[in-house]
Amino acid sequence: MELYELTVHELHEKLVSGETTAREVLDAYYRRIEAVEDRVHAYISLMKETAYAQAEEADRSIREGRIGPLTGVPIALKDICCTRGFPTTCASRILENFRPPYDATVVARLRAAGAVFTGKTNMDEFAMGSSTETSYFGVTRNPWDLERIPGGSSGGSAAAVAADECAAAIGSDTGGSIRQPAALCGVVGMKPTYGRVSRFGLVAFASSLDQIGPFTKDVRDCAILMNVIAGHDPRESTSVPVEIPDYRAFLDRSVEGWKIGIPREYFMEGIDPEVRAAVEGAARALEGSGAKLIEVSLPHTKYCVAVYYIIAPAEASSNLARYDGVRYGFRAEDPRDLLEMYKKTRSAGFGAEVKRRIIIGTYVLSSGYYEAYYKKASQVRALIREDFDRVFALCDVILTPTTPTAAFRLGEKLDDPIQMYLSDIFTISANLAGIPGISVPCGFTGEGLPVGVQFLAPHFEEGRLIQIGSALSTLMPREVRRPRL
């Protein structure tokens, strides 16, 4: 097996034992990137110079016995996380040349844990999309079928892990942007509880929904990454000061006796039959291990998409007002006056999907419409959260499909925003409620496309997700398949 095919924990063991070096591991990954990146386009930019400096430091640390949980392990970063002195573009022209003067807290924690940063991954512009087709820097392709989308908005991170272009990656999830691409690319992706992982240095899309989380090759790696990135951050006002368990302690535990909620609203018409069969197979496997499946209801689910596409664009229109050509980023040339500079900068700097959401958000916040739209959506959001509170009084976790279909073809939904938005129909609710969710691979379609099953848990119960994801991985050992790149 090649070094780049190994998981985080397998790589770390080889590094600590002296079987290989961080330099050799990084060489293997960059050779892999050189071999497949022109077809996948998972990255916007590579960080070779700093990566090799980090690898040398990792090797020195190992020799001296200073070993962190990720020492020498190559990690990719979604290009929405600020990296000191290195471009952070959000896949947008308007930030094409922006170099932050500081690291995001997540980046700093990974750096302190010894991680080696391979590069910044592609994404939908400002995380607004479900297919990684809205990037100013071009589309990312699904490693399992290069004519299909990898999901979004963190499609570059998911594709990089699936294509073995990094050992793990960081993404952000506002309405499913970690879990959906994880499912479509056949990897593990977790959205932690809102407030569990600091958003300091995450370029904001919708501030009450955004959350940072990991993409990994297996659930054990997810636990390792969560141990590093979770925790209170006094610089971030929504970061919650609650105890962080050792997530590795939840691995390899039985779920016998657990009650698993199956929400009837998530198993509706329109789900691809092969996706449904794979997800139901996962449910049966857990039932066979001693868990009990119970039907539950989340009655306000039908409002989730509408509520999300009021709240998220409203917050986006406010957050993106700062990109005006004055302080940083792209500025239009030769404007006649200040107003024209604003107009030309924002017209040329933002892509079509970002403009669409700014317009929607500005409208629902405008005088005379705020009460009818944003306030009403916020009230329904509270009802959605109450649905989950009631259901979690009856069960330990909830099981749903992550996506209604496997990966669709590039361009298939690009001109139909409504159909694109509906691809996140099973993931949006967790962001509205602020609860944690994980997508774990559970099979393949007849065309060889990955399928993911989603588990949801109460606030700050990521450990339950690690436990049931680990149990499922034991009950349904993954077929040894790799993308044919």
Question: Which domains are delineated in the chain?
Answer: 3-253+445-451 (3.90.1300.10)
Amino acid 204 reads: A
C-alpha 53/C-alpha 63 separation (Å) is 16
**Closest listed residue to residue 348, CA positions, set 375, 361, 365, 329:** 329
pLDDT of residue 307: 97
DSSP string, 271-292: S-HHHHHHHHHHHHHHHHTT-E
| Nearest alpha-carbon partner for 424 in 165, 150, 164, 130 | 130
Residue 479: per-residue pLDDT: 63
What is the reported pLDDT for 308? 97
CA distances from 306 to 71, 131, 144 (A): 44, 19, 32
Q: What angle do CA 427, 120, 324 make, to 5 degrees?
A: 85
pTM higher than the cut 0.85: yes
What's 390's DSSP letter?
A: H
CA Rg, the chain, in Å?
Answer: 21
Q: What distances in angstroms separate CA 298 from CA 3, 266, 293, one per listed residue?
A: 44, 9, 16
Q: Is 133 in contact with 411 (CB distance < 8 Å)?
A: yes
State the SS3 of the chain.
Answer: CCHHHCCHHHHHHHHHHCCCCHHHHHHHHHHHHHHHHHHHCCEEEECHHHHHHHHHHHHHHHHCCCCCCCCCCEEEEECCECECCECCCCCCHHHCCCCCCCCCHHHHHHHHCCCEEEEEECCCHHHCCCCCCCCCCCCCCECCECCECCCCCCHHHHHHHHCCCCCEEEEECCCCCCHHHHHHHCCEEEECCCCCECCCCECCCCCCCCCEEEEECCHHHHHHHHHHHECCCCCCCCCCCCCCCCHHHHCCCCCCCCEEEEEHHHCCCCCCHHHHHHHHHHHHHHHHCCCEEEEECCHHHHHHHHHHHHHHHHHHHHHHHHCCCCCCCCCCCCCCCHHHHHHHHHHHHCCHHHHHHHHHHHHHHCCCCCHHHHHHHHHHHHHHHHHHHHHHCCCCEEEEECCCCCCCECCCCCCCHHHHHHCCCCCHHHHHHCCCEEEEEEEECCCCCEEEEEEECCCCCHHHHHHHHHHHHHHCCCCCCCCCC
303 φ, ψ to 5°?
A: -95, -5
Amino acid at 437: G
Residue type, 412: E
**Which tokens in the block code for residue 298?**
């989340």
Residuewise pLDDT in 10s, the chain (485 residues): 899 999 999 999 999 999 999 999 999 999 999 999 999 999 999 999 999 999 999 999 999 999 999 999 999 999 999 999 999 999 999 999 899 999 999 999 999 999 999 999 999 999 999 999 999 999 999 999 999 999 999 999 999 999 999 999 999 999 999 999 999 999 999 999 999 999 999 999 999 999 999 999 999 999 999 999 999 999 999 999 999 999 999 999 999 999 999 999 999 888 999 999 999 999 999 999 999 999 999 999 999 999 999 999 999 999 999 999 998 889 999 899 999 999 999 999 999 999 999 999 999 999 889 999 999 999 999 999 999 999 999 999 999 999 999 999 999 999 888 889 888 999 999 999 999 999 999 999 999 999 999 999 999 999 999 999 999 999 987 666 889 88
**What does the block give as tokens for 302?**
């039908």
Cis previous bond, 153, omega within 30: yes
| C-alpha distances in Å from residue 191, one per residue of 17, 168, 428, 477 | 32, 15, 11, 23
Tokens of 196: 């569990």
Backbone angles phi, psi at 32, to 5 degrees: -65, -45
| pLDDT at res. 269 | 82
Rounded to an integer, what distance in angstroms lies between the CA atom of residue 470 and that of residue 401?
A: 17
Catalytic residue positions, numbered? 78, 153, 177
d(CA 60, CA 441): 36
